[in-house]
Amino acid sequence: VLKLFKLLHRTRQEVFKNDTKALEAARQKINEEFRNNRDETSEEKINELLKIGSDVEVILRTSVIQAVHTDSDKI
């Protein structure tokens, strides 16, 4: 669980580099989800949550695109 938590935060830092609003929003969401499920004891539910977290990490790493304005009408 801790390994996934750290991996999500590292991925967040790479994906949302230089975007302070997105970095903070992602940090809060990751922490909130782990906090909300910290008392889970069912092995089946924990494995399901770990799978969801792993899927989220893959989606962040492979599907999120950050655009940068280079001019008033160019990204």
With a cut of 80, say whether residue 41 has pLDDT above it: yes
49 residue type, one letter: L
Q: Considering its fold, how many domains does the chain have in total?
A: 1
Whole domain around residue 67: which residue ranges? 1-71
With a cut of 90, say whether residue 68 has pLDDT above it: no
Measured over the CA atoms of residue 28, residue 31, residue 33 and residue 35, the dihedral's sign is negative
Indicate the range of 7-16, 43-52, 64-73 predicted with least confidence.
Answer: 64-73
Q: What are the pLDDT digits (tens) for 7-40?
A: 999 999 999 998 999 999 999 999 999 999 999 9
Mean pLDDT of 42-63: 96
What does pTM read for this prediction?
0.84
